Structure 1
Amino acid sequence: MELSPARLPPSPASRPGGDPLPALLLTCERAGFDVRREYGDGPLCASAAFHQRGEGYLLSRKVTLWAAESHEHLFLYRTARLDVPQWQAILQDALARGRERIRPHDEHMVSYVSALVLCDELDAGAAGAVRRTRYSKSFWWGLRGWMRFRALALRLPPGMAERGEALYAVNAAARGALLSLVRTALHPLFALSEYPR
């Protein structure tokens, strides 16, 4: 999906500094993700998918020594307040959507399913639940790869004041790539700090 600035949705009036969702989607697209807006009644507002394939050859492309595929399925959610029951519902939704997109086969190496939640209020219990979230699954004892779950919840600054501070809670699997993507997208809008433990 082509996501040019002209096609970005307008920022809500309640957020004078701008909605961070377009910046996140644009950064995902620039990183090579296929981005899709989701319209419905639930908190899911967008999804993005990234696919990569590596191959090794012997003298020509006709003789493939190895091939490995890796995938990322990112689901972006928007909610006013994130508490533990809401986080559990989002977790189950992201896992269900991610599992239905994974197709394990001989060349499948890894699939990451990621949930990124934007919220105005982040409950301390929900922040702890996000940090403690662990989920991984191997397919055919690892012969057909595995999946891992990444989670990040981001409490947006109140009123999106200029250079306000956003707080995030992140699980161990998301500390690398997902957190880096969010920092890249949102650094121009506001500062990011980890939610206090």
Structure 2
Amino acid sequence: MDLSPARLPASPASRPGGDPLPALLLTCERAGFDVRRENGDGPLCASAAFHQRGEGYFLAKRVTLWATESHEYLFVYQTPRLDPPLWLTLRQDALTRGRACIRPHDEHMVSYVSALVLCDALDAGAADAVRRTRYSKSFWWGLRGWMRLRALAVCLPPPQPAGASALHAGNAAARGPLLALVQKALQPLFHLAEYPQ
């Protein structure tokens, strides 16, 4: 599969509202993610990480009753057209990168690996493949937590006609926080609607 820079969209600035990537990354930063732009030779344009820790104490901080950690690793890809073979490649890339970040231990509860694809055209087969995406893994039979894959593809609207909606397709795990984050970021630029099934 060709993951060269030629697969990137030619002119996102010509889209109504401009390039959605800066708005998305700014929203991620405001939500507490550590955001990093990727300048490599491929469709991966940004990655972000979010870490949360909860603890329970008894009378003093020295006596910790419990502690849990939750993590999310978000990988943002841009491509002119998303088809099923490219989706499988991007899905595997996100899983490989995400698994390299996860460090299971006694206090690890859950890590989400999120693959977000921004594209100019979304193939119906790719939309179905994104919706059907399932991946979860437990560490030490769940004693050291688990990981789950969130998958979301957003087909950006064309420059014309004005007021066109962006379409999204996502798996069940992405319908909560990931979709809400994307909607919050893109709502000022254009309306976001579900890709027809």
TM-score (normalizing by structure 2): 0.92
Alpha-carbon shift at residue 163 of structure 1 (Å): 3.0
What whole-Å deviation, never above 9, does each CA across 1:47-66 have from its counterpart, x for those lacking one? 00000000000000010000
Structure 2 gap ranges (5+): 1-10
Offset from partner CA, 1:25-82 (integer Å, 9 cap, x none): 0000000000000001110000000000000000000100000000000000000000
Q: Which residue of structure 1 lines up, in the alignment, with residue 62 of structure 2?
A: 62
| Superposition misfits of 4+ residues, deviation over 6 angstroms | none
After superposition, residues 42-191 of structure 1 pair within 5 angstroms as 42-159=42-159, 162-191=162-191
Aligned AA for 1:24?
L
Match of 1:33 in 2: 33
Identity, % of aligned positions: 78
Cα distance change on mapping 1:44 and 1:22 into 2, 3 Å: same
Shift of the 173–34 alpha-carbon distance from structure 1 to 2, 3 Å rule, reads: same
Residues 17, 161 of structure 1: 8 Å contact kept: no
How many residues align? The count is: 187
Question: Is the CA contact 2:13–2:19 (under 8 Å) kept in the aligned structure 1?
Answer: no
Matches of 1:183 and 1:150 in 2, distance apart? 15
Opposite residue 145 of structure 2, the aligned amino acid is: G
TM-score (norm 1): 0.92
The answer (yes or no) to whether the contact 2:16–2:189 under 8 Å persists in 1 is no
2-structure distance, mates of 1:75, 1:160: 29
